[in-house]
Amino acid sequence: MAHLASFNQASVEQALQGIPALKQYKINNATSSILIEYDPSVVQPHLIEGLFSESEQEAEQACYAIAACLEL
């Protein structure tokens, strides 16, 4: 998320709006963070949990799996 601060907020919002599995989101510029509510019927919770794995490889695989679910 650290690189979120380097993006234009409007660009981030536009990208997020294009993903139907995301129900809502809130960008916090003060902390350079984002809170996302997703649809668990589209993206399985275990995939989201995989993003926070201590293994970089597992986190990367979770990213690819989520992208596949979202057809990105």
pTM of the model as a whole: 0.64
* One-letter-per-residue 3-state SS of 22-52: EEEEEEECCCCEEEEEECCCCCCHHHHHHCC
DSSP-assigned beta bridge partners for residue 53: none
- pLDDT(20) > 70: yes
pLDDT average, residue stretch 40-56: 92
Q: Count CB-CB contacts under 10 A for residue 35.
A: 9
Please tell me the distance from the alpha carbon of residue 68 to that of residue 1, in angstroms, as a whole number.
Answer: 21
- pLDDT value of position 1: 47
pLDDT at position 5 over 90:
no
Is the pLDDT score of 47 beyond 90?
yes
